[in-house]
Amino acid sequence: MTDSSDLSSTEKLLDSIRGGTPPQAFSREPVSSLPESKGCSSLKGNTLNNLCAGAYLGGDSLSLVLAGETKRGGAKEVVKWQVFPYPETTDIKSERFPAFLRSALASFLADCKNVPIWAAIETKDVKLRQLTLPNIPDARLANAAMWALKKEIDIDLVNEIFDYEFISDVHGSGVKKKTVVAFSGDRAAVKGLKTLFKSAGYSLAGITATPFAIQNCILAGQPDTGGQPVVIVNIRRHRSEIFCMSEQGILVARSIKTGSYSLVEPSMESGMVDGKITDIPWILAARGRLDDPGFEEMEAAARRLLGKIQRTGEYCSNMFLENEPVAKYYFFGETDDSRAFISFSEEMIPGRVTLFSPFQNDPGAMGLAMPTSAADRNGVIPALGIALSDKAMTPNFLYTYKEKALDAKAQKINMGIIAAGIAGLLICAGVWFWFDRMENQEVAKRTSVETQLAKYDFQITKDVMNKKNDQARKKIEMIRQYVNDYASLSVISEVCALTPENIDILTLKAELAESVDNDPKAKNKKKLEDRVRHMRLQGLVSAEFTALESTLTGYVMALDGSPLFGNIDVENKKIEQKKDLNTLNFTVDMEIF
């Protein structure tokens, strides 16, 4: 027997999505006043870092917890918590619910701006298994985890969102393997929460699941389990959630259809207990001892519930812990104030039962007290676990392995672009420095040339040019004078050097003065290279008759090869015989350069 008005908010939300009023059609009309809420705040004016708000939609109330760091990089602590009961005329299907949610969030986050908000889907909407996979590359780990989960559980990848969490590498029989937690979440439940908060004017930073929210408390050391395996039980109105955890993470997450209502249902039906279904926490609190009237009616239901909890712990011990027993059974929920139920639990599970109270014994620097009533703890503790979520560590159905892979790929592309940009900048800087160096070298050369030119910096005028011309003319005249003075010696020396022993020079007549036109006008026009000097040489070749001509020819060629002589003309060749010697008498006319 269940009362539909007391189903979990997520169930109501799913009903509204599947067949009721769509969330996007909810009214934006604000709630005029919120019901009286319960809360505890310890801001103390501290500067807080890495804030995160956790929202848990319970059966009849909204629980909000804000967690943050008093020191950057330190452990997270509870900053504030508050419970907002739903208005009497408002439930999860109501058109006014988004307005109530918006008002509650605005009131709770009034002192904090731009705080990320997380929510969670119910355990019954999650399928979860811890798996051991072969040592395969990380790129193939997601597919391996998905197919391994499909072998264990029937999952629908169209209507469910798959993700996995890598736990650790394990070594067994010398073989390396990988341990992961593979899980899937109901796509409609995730979409419903996202749409509901968007309708209220807030965007969710993440949507996790209740098992991972409770795991966040264990990872934060609240409470400190000493690395031993534990079972955490949340006894809610119509369901109980059982989480088996170890230092490797979640081993089993179960949601069973037995809750606090099942414990008091026989008494309420028999008329022994008079009250509304919302009074169940207080009805259970009235059961202080095992011998209290009415406990007999709830004993059978309590025994069935605790038996399921024990069997879950034993299953985890056998399947995942190599028969290591569960160290503790932590309880929280609507039975927290029932001393009779806790005592009965201790009888069935001796020495291992305690209440789950994160931050109760170690409130941290903020010194914040957790709620004392069972009704408030039933919502605040899951909300606290949600508020401890971290994007890098907590499974998030809005940011699964697919989105992480895309972000990693985009990051690699960005890093490649940045590296290429840096390389381009370095190349440009190198080219710029090279050009700068070349420019400096050219400037230095120009400065040197300008310095040298500065030594000869004078005005070029007609007088200066005339003076330079006179100086050049005088220099030419001087050179010509030297040539005229030493020309005879040069000619005689060159002739002597070129004349062989078998040729005798009879006469040598040289006209060393330049022959020019007697016309003064022609003289001024005559070029220096056109003025001609002559030399006339008469000689005698003494040799065999057959060698006379060749000897003369060789001599003429030697004279022609001299830089002083040219245009050689042989005249008056005559062979004569004197006694026993043949001679060749010749005359040579040539120009002197």
Written as six digits, the tokens of 231 are 């079972």
Burial class (CB in 10 A: 0-12, 13-18, 19+), 177: middle
pLDDT (tens digit per residue) in 283-300: 888 866 666 666 777 888
376 alpha carbon, distance to own chain's centre: 43
Nearest to 400 by CA among 252, 182, 564, 582: 182
Report how far residue 157's alpha carbon sits from residue 186's, in angstroms, rounded to the nearest whole number: 10
Report how far residue 327's alpha carbon sits from residue 443's, in angstroms, rounded to the nearest whole number: 85
Q: How confident is the model at residue 525 (pLDDT cuts 50, 70, 90)?
A: very low
How many separate domains does the chain show? Answer: 1
| Residue 516: pLDDT over 80 | no
| Residue 37: pLDDT over 50 | yes
Neighbours of 454 (CB within 10 A): 8
* pLDDT value for 26: 33
Integer-rounded Cα Rg, in Å, for the chain is 57
Report how far residue 77's alpha carbon sits from residue 368's, in angstroms, rounded to the nearest whole number: 9
Q: Are 246 and 315 in contact, with CB atoms under 8 Å apart? A: no
| Residue 10: pLDDT over 70 | no
Average pLDDT over residues 479-505: 85
* pLDDT value for 410: 92
pLDDT (tens digit per residue) in 211-233: 999 999 998 888 888 889 999 99
Nearest to 281 by CA among 370, 379, 212: 379
421: in domain: no
| Residue 23: pLDDT over 60 | no
Compare 463 and 142 and report the one with higher pLDDT. 142
150: in domain: no
* pLDDT value for 458: 62
Alpha carbon of 297 to those of 210, 258, 283, 287, 294: distances in Å? 31, 15, 13, 11, 5
* pLDDT value for 133: 92
* pLDDT value for 145: 94
Q: How confident is the model at residue 88 (pLDDT cuts 50, 70, 90)?
A: confident
| Residue 528: pLDDT over 50 | no
pLDDT (tens digit per residue) in 463-491: 888 888 999 999 888 888 887 778 888 88
Bridge-partner residues for 160, per DSSP?
186
Bridge-partner residues for 63, per DSSP?
56, 83
Which of 263-277, 425-439, 558-572 has the highest mean predicted lDDT (pLDDT)? 425-439
The verdict on whether omega for the bond into residue 223 sits within 30 degrees of 0, i.e. cis, is yes
Nearest to 55 by CA among 360, 322, 379, 306: 379
The answer to which of 1-5, 11-15, 240-244 has the lowest mean pLDDT is: 1-5
CATH number where 515 lies: 3.30.70
505: in domain: yes
225's CB contacts (< 8 A; 6+ apart) are: 218, 245, 327, 328
526: in domain: yes
* pLDDT value for 459: 67
303: in domain: no
Report how far residue 324's alpha carbon sits from residue 454's, in angstroms, rounded to the nearest whole number: 100
pLDDT (tens digit per residue) in 297-320: 788 889 999 999 999 999 999 998
Alpha carbon of 95 to those of 25, 59, 99: distances in Å? 8, 17, 8
575: in domain: yes
Ordered DSSP codes for 23-59: GGGS--PPPSSPPP-EEEE--TT---EEEEEEEEE-S
Alpha carbon of 417 to those of 406, 422, 423, 427: distances in Å? 16, 8, 10, 15
Average pLDDT over residues 355-376: 77
DSSP 8-state secondary structure symbol assigned to residue 278: G
Neighbours of 341 (CB within 10 A): 26
The answer to which of 133-142, 384-393, 455-464, 493-502 has the lowest mean pLDDT is: 455-464
Helix, strand, coil shares of the chain as percentages rounded to 5? Answer: 45, 25, 30
* pLDDT value for 310: 95
Report how far residue 566's alpha carbon sits from residue 588's, in angstroms, rounded to the nearest whole number: 11
DSSP 8-state secondary structure symbol assigned to residue 86: P
pLDDT (tens digit per residue) in 417-457: 999 999 999 999 999 999 999 999 999 999 988 888 777 75
* pLDDT value for 206: 96
| Residue 519: pLDDT over 70 | no
* pLDDT value for 308: 95
| Residue 17: pLDDT over 70 | no
Compare 513 and 57 and report the one with higher pLDDT. 57
Q: Which structural domain range is residue 535 located in?
A: 491-592
* pLDDT value for 125: 94
- DSSP three-state, residue 382: helix
For the stretch 565-576, what's the b/e string if a residue is b when 16 or more beta carbons lie within 10 angstroms of its beta carbon?
A: beebeeeeeeee
175: in domain: no
- DSSP three-state, residue 161: strand
Sign of the Cα torsion 86, 90, 95, 100 reads: negative
Neighbours of 422 (CB within 10 A): 10
* pLDDT value for 32: 42
Report how far residue 188's alpha carbon sits from residue 48's, in angstroms, rounded to the nearest whole number: 35
pTM (global) more than 0.75: no
308's CB contacts (< 8 A; 6+ apart) are: 240, 242, 256, 258
174: in domain: no
| Residue 503: pLDDT over 80 | yes
DSSP 8-state secondary structure symbol assigned to residue 257: S
Q: How confident is the model at residue 408 (pLDDT cuts 50, 70, 90)?
A: confident
The answer for 359, left when phi > 0, alpha when psi is -120 to 50, beta otherwise, is left
Round the average pLDDT of the chain to a whole number and report it: 84
* pLDDT value for 443: 92
